[in-house]
Amino acid sequence: MTTAVQALFESFDALSEGERHVVAVELLRRVGSTDELPDEALVAAADEVFRELDAREAADARAEAR
């Protein structure tokens, strides 16, 4: 992983959950507009992103319930 990519991920991690969601959707949209990745790879990546977001939301809800 290059230094630029590491910096990008650090910046991404510093965003709020809502901002991360917006960025993830926009990245998927941009990658989806190219012919570089097959549809199956895009669907798998989107599924992974949304599973992670769901897990975070569930963890937040459990924390708030305490």
Q: Which residue has the tokens 């459990």?
A: 62
Confidence class of residue 15 from pLDDT cuts 50, 70 and 90?
very high
State the DSSP code for 36: S
Asked whether residue 25 carries a pLDDT value surpassing 70, the answer given is yes
Q: Could you please report the per-residue DSSP string of 11-56?
A: HHHTS-HHHHHHHHHHHHHHHHTSSSS-HHHHHHHHHHHHHHHHHH
State mean pLDDT over 7-19. Answer: 93
Q: Which two tokens stand for residue 57?
A: 């939301």
Q: Which amino acid is at 39?
A: D
What digits encode the pLDDT tens for the residues 27-62?
Answer: 878 876 666 777 788 788 888 888 888 888 888 888
pTM (two decimals): 0.51
Separation of alpha carbons 62 and 23, rounded Å: 25
Taking the domains of the chain in order of start, what are their residue ranges? Answer: 15-65
